[in-house]
């Protein structure tokens, strides 16, 4: 059924189907979702970027209780930052409008960020997670070496050919190629924001031509057509994120799920106002108002820390106008199927399409 490159990747990852569930941080990737994907033959992924080392262990243990199949854990490559008090005060002044509206009392006047990558990675290694993926950069040579010494398969995220080449040179086993259609944070780490939004149709063949390691296509892939097309462009598998957000097993807020189901391909924009890093999400009041002033946005992860109380309280109060509603550009194709049923439908549609190719010869 599959191209040789896909068969090789499936063997490498010890999975049956070329579908990776994207490691979406922020609560979507519950043990139920990750395990359901892996049990169905795909690769489930824990989006652990925002989790403490202890919470990562809990997520891994929870997932292991539901599956004995391989899954991956994803971390962010960041560094510790001491936020400037003047900047924090300025941004907080603007954010206070929303806090007032949400009746949030306490406001933190610091936004220092302590990088826990080392401690997070230690848990991944101790728990013998078979596949490790990352985004926002490249881990240190030491971290890559430890992963390799422990036979962990390493997947990096690229948004340009240049980033893909860097990942290959630094020892990655697989590249996740994130096209501009993708929901959530851009994984870009080496290019300008405007010039690293490459559509999946253009990005995959150019990256595949430039690197030797397998490429996983991501961005706008929502069904069997997207899977079959991605494989034909040269990808060995696909990574789907938004498509899994509306599964019953996904941990996102009910209103967020409804917002995705109600949205169209025109609903999203790429914005930095929630976290300080460009990310694609459904346009809402917070984005529209915050984007007016560029002074409203600090660098990642300071901005992320500062907006956290607003996003949390907005979720509690079911107010989507202040929540980060990350989603890609394919949301008209969103379904509410269980992960296993969804995967089955994607695979059977892709098989049918590839089958039709042969009948037409």
Nearer to a second copy, 220 or 301 (CB): 220
Nearer to a second copy, 111 or 235 (CB): 235
**Least distance (Å) from a second copy to the CB of residue 340?**
22
Nearer to a second copy, 137 or 234 (CB): 234
How many angstroms separate the Cα of 260 from the Cα of each of 54, 182, 257? 31, 14, 5
Nearer to a second copy, 291 or 299 (CB): 291
Nearer to a second copy, 197 or 325 (CB): 197
**Least distance (Å) from a second copy to the CB of residue 226?**
6
Collapsing DSSP states into helix, strand and coil, what is residue 281?
strand
Nearer to a second copy, 15 or 158 (CB): 158
φ, ψ of residue 139 to 5 degrees: the values are -60, 160
CB 6 within 8 A of CB 41: no
C-alpha–C-alpha distance, residues 301 and 315, integer Å: 20
C-alpha–C-alpha distance, residues 96 and 326, integer Å: 23
* Of 206, 216, 189, 201, the residue nearest 278 (C-alpha): 189
| Residue that the structure tokens 């206070």 belong to | 96
* Of 150, 202, 198, 153, the residue nearest 178 (C-alpha): 198
C-alpha–C-alpha distance, residues 325 and 18, integer Å: 27
Binding residues vs a second copy (CB under 8 A) = 1-3, 160-162, 179-181, 191-192, 194-203, 205-206, 209-210, 219-223, 225-226, 228-230, 232-234, 264-270, 283, 328-330, 332-333, 353-361
**Least distance (Å) from a second copy to the CB of residue 69?**
24
Nearer to a second copy, 2 or 50 (CB): 2
**Least distance (Å) from a second copy to the CB of residue 151?**
29
**Least distance (Å) from a second copy to the CB of residue 248?**
23
C-alpha–C-alpha distance, residues 241 and 182, integer Å: 8
CB 94 within 8 A of CB 296: yes
**Least distance (Å) from a second copy to the CB of residue 345?**
14
**Least distance (Å) from a second copy to the CB of residue 264?**
6
Q: CB within 8 A of 288, min separation 6: which ones?
A: none
Nearer to a second copy, 67 or 345 (CB): 345
**Least distance (Å) from a second copy to the CB of residue 221?**
7
C-alpha–C-alpha distance, residues 143 and 153, integer Å: 13
φ, ψ of residue 213 to 5 degrees: the values are -80, 160
Collapsing DSSP states into helix, strand and coil, what is residue 178?
strand
Nearer to a second copy, 67 or 162 (CB): 162
**Least distance (Å) from a second copy to the CB of residue 239?**
13
Q: CB within 8 A of 268, min separation 6: which ones?
A: 183, 280, 281, 282, 283, 327, 328, 329, 331
**Tokens representing residue 125 in the block:** 């290694």
Pairing state between β 184-185 and 279-282? antiparallel
């Amino acid at each position: 059924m599959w191209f040789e490159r896909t068969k090789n990747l499936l063997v490498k990852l010890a999975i049956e189907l070329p579908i990776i569930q994207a490691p979406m941080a922020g609560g979507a990737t519950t043990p139920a979702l990750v395990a359901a994907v892996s049990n169905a033959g795909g690769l489930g992924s824990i989006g652990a970027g925002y989790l403490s080392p202890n919470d990562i262990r809990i997520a891994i243990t929870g997932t292991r209780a539901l599956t004995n199949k391989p899954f991956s854990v994803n971390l962010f490559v960041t560094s510790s930052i001491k936020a400037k008090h003047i900047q924090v005060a300025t941004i907080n002044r603007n954010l206070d409008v929303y806090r007032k509206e949400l009746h949030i009392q306490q406001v933190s006047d610091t936004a220092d960020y302590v990088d826990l990558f080392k401690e997070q990675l230690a848990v991944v290694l101790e728990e013998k997670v078979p596949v490790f993926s990352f985004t926002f950069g490249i881990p240190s040579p030491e971290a890559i070496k430890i992963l390799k010494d422990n036979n962990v398969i390493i997947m990096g995220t690229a948004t340009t050919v240049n980033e893909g080449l860097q990942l290959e040179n630094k020892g990655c086993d697989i590249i996740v190629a994130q096209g501009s259609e993708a929901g959530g944070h851009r994984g870009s780490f080496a290019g300008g924001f405007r010039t690293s939004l490459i559509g999946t149709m253009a990005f995959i063949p150019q990256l595949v031509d430039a690197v030797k390691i397998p490429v996983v296509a991501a961005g706008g892939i929502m069904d069997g057509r997207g899977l079959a097309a991605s494989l034909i462009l040269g990808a060995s598998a696909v990574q789907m994120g938004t498509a899994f957000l509306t599964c019953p097993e996904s941990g996102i807020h009910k209103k967020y799920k409804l917002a995705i189901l109600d949205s169209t391909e025109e609903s999203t924009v790429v914005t930095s106002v929630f976290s300080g890093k460009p990310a694609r999400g459904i346009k809402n009041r917070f984005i529209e108002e915050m984007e007016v002033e560029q002074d409203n946005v600090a660098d990642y992860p300071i901005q992320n820390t500062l907006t956290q109380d607003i996003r949390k309280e907005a979720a509690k109060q079911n107010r989507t106008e202040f929540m980060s509603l990350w989603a890609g550009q394919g949301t008209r194709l969103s379904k509410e199927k269980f992960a296993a049923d969804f995967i089955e439908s994607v695979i059977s549609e892709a098989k049918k399409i590839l089958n039709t190719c042969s009948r037409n010869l």
